[in-house]
Structure 1
Amino acid sequence: MPLSPTTALSLVDQAIEGMRGLLASGEWQVGMRIPPEPALAEALGVSRNTVREAVRALAHTGVLEVRRGDGTYVAAPNEVTALVRQQLARTDLRHVLEVRHAIESQAAALAAERRSAKDLRVLERALGRRDRAVATQDEEGFVDADADFHLGVVAAAHNPLLVELYGGFADNLRSSILLPLAHDDALRGEHVALLEAIRSRDPEAAAAATGRLLAGVGH
C-alpha cells in the first residue's frame, strides 16, 4: 500500500532527526563527507528516497552542502548556527559586532555563575597555549588558542542555545584575531582578568573584562 503524505513526512522527519543526532553526538563533524545514500538508508532504517528528501531539507537550511560529483558535506553543526552564519553574511559589520559583544558579555557573566572546575581547566589550557604561541610567534596556534578561549567562556555559561548562537560567529571570531608581537601582548591582561573573574564567580567583573577585551581588539 502506498504511504500517505502524512506517513511519508514522518519518515523524512525521522531521517532528519537521525542525522541531527549524528551531528549533536559529534559523530558527524563540520567539513566531513557524510555516508552515501545506501549506507544512510540502512543506518536510519528508511528508504533512499527518504534519505534524499532529508538531505535536501538539511541542505536547504545550510546544515549540509551537496557538492555535485563529490558527495554531501557537513557545513554547520545545527540549524541555528547555519542560520546565524547566513544572516551574518548579509548584515552590516557594525551590527554583527554589537550582537557579538552582547552575547560574549552575557556569556561571561553566566560563566562566572555556573562554571565548573573542568571549565576553568579548559580556559587555563587555552590561555597557556595562547602564551606559547605569542612567544614562538605561531600565528595559526595563536588563532586556535585565542578562539578556543572565547568559545570556552561561552561553553562555561552552560546554555546550549547560547553556544549554538555563538557558534555562528566562529568565522567572524577567528578572522578578528591577530597575532601580537612577542613583547607587546597588550590584551593578555584582559584575558587573565576575565579568567580570574570567572574563577572568582564575579559576573559583573567578568562582563566588564569582556567589554574591555573586545574594545581592545577593535570589535
Structure 2
Amino acid sequence: MAVTDEAIEKIKAMIVAGELRPGDRLPREADLAERLGLSRNSLREAVKALSLIRVLDVRQGDGTYVTSLAPTLLLDALSFIVDFHRDDTVLEFFEVRRILEPAATALAAQRMSDADIEGLRKVLTSLPDDATIDELVANDLEFHHRIAAGAGNTLLCSLIDSLSGPTTRARIWRGLTQAGAVEKTREQHAAILAAVATHQPELARSWATIHVAGVEEWLHLMIENNVRTIRNTVP
C-alpha cells in the first residue's frame, strides 16, 4: 500500500471508530503524524486527498476539521466525476436510475406528507402546455428530485440527484427527436403523482420503472441506429 493511501486509511479508521467525529478539529500535524506513525509529508498528502472528497475541511489559519459527513456533501465528488461521462456510457447511468428511482418512488408513496405531495402537484401543474424543451427538462429534474427527497432517505436522494446530471442531455435529445415524448413524460409524471398521492407504493414503483425504462430503451435504440449508420457509411 502506498504511503499516502496508508495515511488515508488511518485517518478514515479514526473517523469510523469515532475518535474523530463530524465537526472535530484534527490534532496538530506533528502530533497526528507521530500518533499514526506517519511522515508529515504523507499525512499532508492524505489530508489534501480527503479534503478533495469533502471528508476534511482545511481552514487556513484555523486548522483542519472533519466535515459534517452529510451524504449530500460527500456525493458532491461523485457529481463532479459523473459529469465527465462519455456518451456511450450514459446507458449505465439509466440502468442505475432504473434500479434506484422505483425504490425511492415506492418509499415516497409511503412517507411523503400531504404538504409535500401538494408541492409535487404544483411542480407538475406549473408546466405550461407550450413548454420549451428546456422548461420540460427543468420541470422533470425538479419532479424527480422531490420524489427522491420524499423517500425520506438523504443518501438515496443524493445518489439519485447525482445521476440526474449525466442523463439531462439524453432527456433533451429525446424531447427534440421523439414524437410524443413531451406528452408521454407528462402522462407518466401524472400517473406517478397519483400513485404517490394515494399511497400505493407498488403502483408508484411500477410507474417509475416504466418512466425511466422508456427513456433508457429509446436511448439504446438511438445509439444502435447511430452505430449502424456509421458502419454503413465507413468505406
Query: Which bracket does the TM-score occupy, shorter chain normalised?
Result: 0.5 to 0.7
Pick the aligned partner of 2:78 from 68, 83, 86: 83
Q: Which residue matches 1:126?
A: 123
- Quick one: distance in 1 between partners of 2:90 and 2:29? 48
Q: 2:213 aligns with which of 205, 212, 215?
A: 215
Q: Report the Cα offset of residue 170 of structure 1.
A: 2.5
CA-based RMSD: 3.8
| Counterpart code for 1:115 | M
Does structure 2 retain, via aligned residues, the 8 Å contact 1:111–1:154? yes
TM-score by length of 2: 0.57
Q: 1:5 aligns with which of 31, 44, 55?
A: 31
Map 1:133-148; keep pairs closer than 5 Å. Answer: 135-148=129-142
For the residue of structure 1 that corresponds to 2:126, the secondary structure is: helix
Q: Kindly provide the amino acid, as one letter, of the partner of residue 147 in structure 1.
A: L
Structure 2: unaligned runs, 5 residues or longer: 1-27, 34-39, 218-235
- Contact map agreement 1:101 1:211 (CA 8 A) in 2: yes
Deviation, 1:136, is: 2.4
Give the CA deviation at 1:169: 0.9
Q: Percent same amino acid among aligned pairs?
A: 23
Contact 2:109 2:195 in 1 (8 A): yes
Q: Which has the higher helix share?
A: 2
Note closer, same or farther for the CA distance 1:199–1:136 as it changes in structure 2 (3 Å cut). same
Give the secondary structure class of the aligned counterpart of 1:136: coil
Whether the aligned pair in 1 keeps the contact of 2:94 and 2:167 (CA below 8 Å) is no
1:17-42 deviations in Å (ceiling 9; x for gaps): xx8899xxxxxxxxxxxxxx9xx64x
- Counterpart of 1:158 (choices 152, 176, 185) is 152
- Change in Cα spacing, 1:177 to 1:94, as seen in structure 2 (3 Å) is closer
> What SS is found at the alignment partner of 2:216?
coil
Q: Is the 8 A contact 2:98 2:213 kept in 1?
A: no
Describe the superposition over 1:79-122 as per-residue Cα deviations: whole angstroms up to 9, x where unpaired.
22422652574583333221111110100000001111222122
Structure label with greater radius of gyration? 2
Count matched residues: 166
Counterpart residue type for residue 81 of structure 2? Q
User: Which whole-Å CA distance do the structure 2 matches of 1:87 and 1:182 have between them?
Assistant: 29
Residue 166 of structure 2 is aligned to residue 172 of structure 1: yes
Deviations 1:162-218 (A, max 9, x none): 011112112124223234779961232211110011011111000100111123323
Q: Deviations over 1:144-168 (max 9, x none)?
A: 1111001111010010110111121
Which residue number in structure 1 is paired with residue 104 of structure 2? 107
Q: What residue number does 1:189 align with?
A: 187
Higher deviation after alignment, 153-162 or 137-146: 137-146
